Amino acid sequence: MFFHYIDLSWRSLKRTPLVSALMVMAIAIGIGITMTSLSVYHMMSMDPIPHKSDQLFAVQLNTTDDGNEWWTSDNVPLQLTYKDAMYLHNAETPVRKTASIRTAFTVHMNNQDVKPFLSSVRAAGQDFFTMFDQHFIYGSPWSLAQEKAADAVVVINEETNNKLFGGTNSVGKQIYLDDSIFTVVGVTKQWQIHTKYYDLNNGSFNAPEPIFIPLTLWEPMQLVSRGNTNGWKHENVTTFEGQLQSEMFWVQFWAELPTENDVKQYHDFLFSYLTEQGTKGRYTREKPEFNLQDVNEWMEYNKVVSEDNKILVGLSFMFLAVCLANILGLLLGKFIRRAPEIGVRRALGANKRQIFLQHLVEVSVLGLLGGVIGIGIAQLGLWGVRVTSSQYADLAGMDLTMVLTAPAIAIGACIIAGLYPAWLVCKTQPAIYLKTQ
């Protein structure tokens, strides 16, 4: 019967082509607008590492004096001081963890073949690649020995490898970062994340750094942070060493804690560390304050999806509701005009449920058509977003989930709009119309 209803729906649409086209376009435009904003929202808010987002924890330590305010919801700074980050980084804890800092270099090959270019570079521990699921095309992360020895080694991404080495296996080859020679130990696959969740300081939706070096090079090379640095009290920092020992916050820190027990143990470890620091009189705070927040909590905490984005999605759904109100009116007119035919069908044995289903299938077909066209309109909208806003360029796209969601929303919305007209027409008293046909 379902396929028969689809056949009847198709005939019905063909019988009133103008009204049908109006309804399909109304739902298509509504869906197009809705899916444009919803797709961006979806990309912004989607779990960037779903299989282990509940195992990766951003670490926050409040090493400010009591009464000091921060802009976070719980007054805890987002980053760590260098000395705290390095202590946690080097601590003998049985978990993967890494401090990391964003910096930048001029990349060149010391020859005429490749034009030098400025690139963001992340200084991190070797655990970074495993923790954040970076996959290697060639080579591997640097070894622990190389990290401890502060060897001048580098991991580059696929795009950089294409640019510098034409996509060939570059492991063992050398590149220049400013004036220093680095040996390539690994080439990673292009990292497809829409949200740069491991460092939300300089734009949540910026691309990940294409080049990584060991964090242990920070001190010998006296590198400069290209991320955010936040102070909370007056400090006369004039030297590189002074910055390393300062109470300014400029280092990101993550730990991978696969089990609840790991979380608890690391929690205790942080508690002990902060208690010890407090005892040493480093800050005035009655009890230690710190956070361990998993990836999704961290994104929520940092308001990756702003209120504006949520309002935009809300408004687009309201626009869809307006489109649906129009469709409801058209459906009412169309279905009520069909009452005599329904009267005949009822006289011939159709029960109310069958008539109701027939009309719901018809509105579903409308929704499906509108949804498919709506995907096209949404693609147009997303293209507009990409062209006009570089910040959202990587986010303005539809993944498979969104492509499937569009017709689902369209069908669902049309069914909602069609419920009342279908209910009204299924209540048709056949006797009223049989004489008047």
The footprint of other proteins (CB under 8 A) covers: 1, 4, 11, 15, 340-341, 343-354, 429-431, 434-437
**Residue entry with tokens 């999605």:** 313
**Residue entry with tokens 């976070």:** 72
State in angstroms the smallest separation of the CB of 423 from other proteins: 13
Burial class (CB in 10 A: 0-12, 13-18, 19+), 36: buried
State in angstroms the smallest separation of the CB of 436 from other proteins: 8
State in angstroms the smallest separation of the CB of 437 from other proteins: 4
Query: With left for phi above 0 and alpha for psi between -120 and 50, is residue 167 left, alpha or beta?
Result: left
Closer of 145 and 348 to other proteins (Cβ): 348
Closer of 15 and 189 to other proteins (Cβ): 15
State in angstroms the smallest separation of the CB of 352 from other proteins: 6
State in angstroms the smallest separation of the CB of 25 from other proteins: 23
Query: With left for phi above 0 and alpha for psi between -120 and 50, is residue 111 left, alpha or beta?
Result: beta
Closer of 220 and 349 to other proteins (Cβ): 349
Q: What are phi and psi of 95, to 5 degrees?
A: -140, 160
Tokens of 19: 């009204």
Closer of 94 and 349 to other proteins (Cβ): 349
The letter for the amino acid at 320 is L
Closer of 365 and 410 to other proteins (Cβ): 365
**Residue entry with tokens 């991190």:** 124
State in angstroms the smallest separation of the CB of 364 from other proteins: 19
Closer of 34 and 428 to other proteins (Cβ): 428
3-class secondary structure for 225-242? CCCCCECCCCCCCCCHHH
Query: For residues 78 and 57, what is the distance between their CA atoms, to the nearest angstrom?
Result: 13
Q: Where are the beta strands (DSSP E) in 344-394?
A: none
Closer of 10 and 319 to other proteins (Cβ): 10
Tokens of 54: 């509940």
Tokens of 94: 């049985």
State in angstroms the smallest separation of the CB of 349 from other proteins: 2
